[in-house]
Chain A
Amino acid sequence: MSEKTSDIDISYVAYLARLGLTEAEAAQFSAQLKDILKAVEKLNELDVTNVEPTAHAVPLTNVLRKDEVQPSIASADVMRNAPQQARGLFIVPKIVEQG
């Protein structure tokens, strides 16, 4: 991973994250992330071949519960937090091109 840290394409990563950055932020984060990634390269010292990854510290698998109908939060209570809504629906900018 060492060769690649210098060329982190901040605008591409910001695009993947759907995160708008100002030019000043992009420049500042680029420099800081370079330092952080350099520090993270310490992991290169470790030989982790044949080591299983840990996703969760508590080894629980396939936790299931009965599929029962239960009361849930009322739609009106949920919609109260919506920035834009009408008739119980969230309003968003147009997604599909007009045909």
Chain B
Amino acid sequence: MTLHTQTIHELRAQLRRSKVSAREVTQALLDRIAALDRKLKAYIWLNRDDALAQAEAIDRTGAAKDGKPLAGVPIAIKDLINVEGQPCTCASKILQGYVAPYDAFVIRQLREAGAVLLGRTNMDEFAMGSSTENSSWGVTRNPWDLERIPGGSSGGSAAAVAADEAIAAIGTDTGGSIRQPAALCGCVGLKPTYGRVSRYGLVAFASSLDQIGPFTKDVEDCAILLGVLAGHDVKDSTSVAQAVPDYTRALGKSVKGLRVGIPKEYFIAGTDREVAAAVRGAIQKLQSLGAEIVELSLPHTEYAVAVYYLIATAEASANLARFDGVRYGLRVAGDDPIEMYRRTRGAGFGPEVKRRIILGTYALSAGYYDAYYLKAQKARTLIRRDFEKAFEKCDVIVTPTSPTAAFKAGEKMDDPLQMYLSDVFTLSVNLAGICGISIPCGFTTRPKLPIGLQIMGKPFGEEMILRVAHAYEQATEWHLQRPNL
């Protein structure tokens, strides 16, 4: 039996019956990482002794028998979530050497659930990017084709799960940074409703859009892990005090009679032919399972990219002001504080982060605020209303996750606008604050690359999107395929 290929729910059964120890599972993952990660580069930091010590503590306390939901399950963490005693660099030189002095809310939840925190995964610097190429620590490769990118910004987390280098992983999604890499690597990724998961301890990129969420090998695992991450936290005033349901109870239910909305704006020229065909096939499958297909319109979709890049960069320019070389991270000396800030930030931030700080600062600067930032916030209202109206007619909305499968490394690095367009189908979900999941729904032919299906739900409608995702997954076999590594 290979331990690294198991899902959370499969491992859990064995750990509970003491058929396997947490230490053996963690060791199996560490062996897998040692064998593969040299070419994949999903991880940027790993402490083998610490991971094994965590696993041994789980074995000693009998946490698995106590029914803790993740007891002994090794989970990888994106490098922008604080874990006490571990680095948290956001894949940026400006945070080189920083050691987190506290645990993020989600890390406390994971520890409480018995998870083994395996290591830190690569990402685009400060989560700005769609390919994980904007990392200061090297490029992560797509497990299905090492010449290609894994998507981003949570590309390390997606690649780790797809390559069985982690049983599951945690990522963040500001405009698609969980769902797009999940689609491109062929795993399951969910962006929760804004406010469902506390952001305490997450390094902020765009505070009104960021959410933490799970990467898993199947939908059941996604439901289990989301249940651990979700919850109200007084330390994040935007987290919502709403009870966390047992998401696994949404699984196994039929989709008969459910209304599946298909927005015409997401089925347009520009989407890869094989991606479009796979998504059409998935819609037919849902129909054959008894779902009712409802054609609808989200008329302001074409404005989402502009709205997103104004709001996200404006918020980022404010959030990243904290990296000034005073309290943590890199400092480059200067004769006065302003010179020190400029030199520190000039040396510490990579090109994409600088580009976005400039754009965001410009959009917020005197004389341009009304024309750019305020206008974008008003247009955001129109996008949100589109979804409110659409969800009067349907229970979920189904679209492609990304217009193409994984592209080649370097292909879009010189053209930021083209890179931004790879999130065209995901970022409206963040603007509207709703939830969305990406699940595998097929492959391209030459080369064989995964294709993702996005299922969007109402605010706090995670149970509904998990139910539809699970019904589709159980009727197909895409999620069982693994890359040849």
Partner-B contacts on A (CB < 8 A): 1, 4, 8, 10, 13-22, 25, 28-29, 32-33, 35-37, 39-43, 45-46, 48, 51-58, 60, 63, 65, 73-74, 77-78, 80-84, 90, 92-95
Contact = CB atoms under 8 A, between A and B. Distances in A.
Contacts of A46: 300, 303, 375, 378-379, 382
Contacts of B99: 80-81
A65 B234 contact: yes
Nearest to B195: A58
B377 A32 contact: no
Contacts of A10: 358
B284 interface: no
A18 B338 contact: yes
Given A13-B362, A29-B354, A53-B381, 14 more contacts: A4-B368, A13-B361, A18-B338, A18-B345, A20-B342, A21-B346, A21-B354, A36-B417, A39-B306, A52-B381, A54-B377, A58-B193, A81-B101, A95-B337
A7 to B, nearest CB: 11
Contacts, number: 178
A92 B337 contact: yes
5 contacts: A18-B324, A33-B359, A39-B417, A55-B377, A58-B433
A12 B255 CA distance: 56
Interface of B: 97-99, 101-102, 193-195, 208, 234, 237-238, 240, 300, 302-303, 305-307, 309-310, 317, 321, 324-331, 333-343, 345-347, 349, 351, 354-355, 357-359, 361-362, 365, 367-368, 371-372, 374-382, 384, 416-417, 431-434, 459
Nearest to B334: A93
Contacts of A57: 194-195, 208, 384, 431-434, 459
Contacts of B376: 43
Nearest to A79: B327
A90 B303 CA distance: 45
Given A32-B416, A54-B381, A39 B305 contact: yes
Contact of B336 (A20, A51, A94): A94
Contact of A83 (B321, B329, B343, B355): B329
B208 A81 contact: no
A15 B346 CA distance: 11
Contacts of B346: 19-22
Given A54-B381, A58-B194, A29 B358 contact: yes
